[in-house]
Amino acid sequence: MRWVRTFLMLVLWGCCLLVQAEPAQHWSVGLHRMAVTDPVDGQPMQALAFYPSSDIARWHQVDGYRVHVAEEGAVVMGRFPLLMLSHGNTGTPLALHDLASALARRGFVVVAVVHPGDNARDHSRLGTLSNLYGRPLQISAALTATLADPLLAPYVSDGQVGMIGYSAGGETALILSGARPDLQRLRRYCQQNPLDADACKAHGVLVADRDDLLPHADPRVRSLLLMAPLSLMFGRHALADVKVPALIYSGDRDQLLAIDKNAQALARKLPITPNYRLLAGAGHFVFMAPCDASQLQHMATLCTDAEGVDRAGIHLSLQAEATRFFTRTLGGAERVGLSAVDH
């Protein structure tokens, strides 16, 4: 019977290893609405915070997206890394709700700004200097507001701050990390690629509505997750001060951004070599949350991927790798003796 005992010991040992290898225990996801002052014009702007909650989550419709959250729920006791999130041009952070929720369940606080003048409902600043340089200022303002927020501040670690940027949000994240846009690169690109309707609507010339604004770096940001990043305005010299680790995802069939001028060039030029994941067959919108039936009907272009592309599977892998990346680069949560709940 010695072999039976040995077998059982190996099984138990293996189970222990599996338990130890598991990521942080999962909680419910809280959703907190914050009102922040836009540093560009002093007007209110909205930010949404996803965070670990000990309350029971329920399904809610928020701006057309179905999310499983505890609205204004109690925060789990502990100190959690903070991740700022910047959405793409004319977008919404709700399009990335599944990534934000997955990270919150794993012990991160994710705060996403709805960029004024460049969101799904308001395009008034699109193609302007106030948008290019205002977006990083807005993220910094939301970061500062989070560290003073009555609900979140006691549970956020101000020394563990990362950044998530999707599409134009990648450009915003790079500026916050020390990159300085070269406006001439955009103009030259549009002269060579005049049919790029997304990047060159104004022929590569940004409206100089606020010539007093300059690139704003925030040293509190210590690591970057970039998805299909808009980055063609950054040459090697413009990126010289970006001294933080980065994880970059892009699709090799991006229908909006030329990846050879954006993600691939960025991966070559960053001073610290990033982890770069190029997804076969994937387009620009694959990083948006998998769509439900209603969304598939009303915004088919954003919801439909090429044959053979598994958006749901890509998101599960992205969520797991993002958790590992931010835990490695920022450190994990410091929890205070409470068991997690998974509703």
CB-based contact 30:75 (threshold 8 Å):
yes
- Phi and psi at residue 85, to the nearest 5°: -130, 130
User: Exposed, middle or buried by CB within 10 Å (0-12, 13-18, 19+), for 290?
Assistant: middle
CB-based contact 216:176 (threshold 8 Å):
yes
Supply the pTM of this predicted model. 0.90
Q: How are beta strands 221-227 and 156-166 bridged, if at all? A: parallel
Q: Tell me 116's DSSP state.
A: T
CB-based contact 155:333 (threshold 8 Å):
no
The per-residue pLDDT for 24 is 45
Tens of pLDDT, residue by residue over 146-193, are 999 999 999 999 999 999 999 999 999 999 999 999 999 999 999 998
User: Exposed, middle or buried by CB within 10 Å (0-12, 13-18, 19+), for 106?
Assistant: buried
Degrees to nearest 5, angle at CA 270 with 318 and 224: 35
Cα 226 versus chain centre, distance = 7
Instruction: Compute the distance between CA of residue 37 and CA of residue 301 in angstroms, rounded to an integer.
Output: 34
113's tokens: 């700004």
Instruction: Compute the distance between CA of residue 210 and CA of residue 129 in angstroms, rounded to an integer.
Output: 6
Give the start-to-end residue ranges of the domains of the chain: 25-335
CB-based contact 108:333 (threshold 8 Å):
yes
Which residue from 50, 47, 103, 94 is spatially nearest to 302, judged by alpha carbons?
A: 94
The per-residue pLDDT for 19 is 33
CB-based contact 187:204 (threshold 8 Å):
yes
SS (H, E, C) 256-297: CCCCCCCHHHHHHHCCCCCEEEEECCCCHHHHCCCCCHHHHH
Q: Where are the beta strands (DSSP E) in 87-212?
A: 109-113, 156-166
CB-based contact 145:34 (threshold 8 Å):
yes
Residue type at position 5: R
What pairs with residue 31 in β-bridges? 50, 71
136's tokens: 């990083």
The per-residue pLDDT for 59 is 96
Residue 23: other Cβ atoms inside 10 A? 14
The per-residue pLDDT for 195 is 81
In angstroms, what CA-CA distances link 104 with 29, 220, 322, 338? 6, 20, 12, 16
The per-residue pLDDT for 12 is 41
| Domain 25-335: which CATH number of 3.40.50.1820, 3.90.79.10, 3.20.20.450, 2.120.10.30 | 3.40.50.1820
Instruction: Compute the distance between CA of residue 73 and CA of residue 51 in angstroms, rounded to an integer.
Output: 9
Q: How would you label 239-262 residue by residue, b for 16+ Cβ within 10 Å and e otherwise?
A: beebebbbbbbbbebbebbbbebb
Angle between helices 168-176 and 129-146 (to 10 degrees): 70
The per-residue pLDDT for 10 is 40
Residues of the chain with pLDDT under 50: 1-24, 337-343
The per-residue pLDDT for 167 is 97
Angle between helices 311-330 and 97-105 (to 10 degrees): 50
The per-residue pLDDT for 203 is 84
- Phi and psi at residue 50, to the nearest 5°: -105, 130
The per-residue pLDDT for 66 is 94
CB-based contact 227:325 (threshold 8 Å):
no
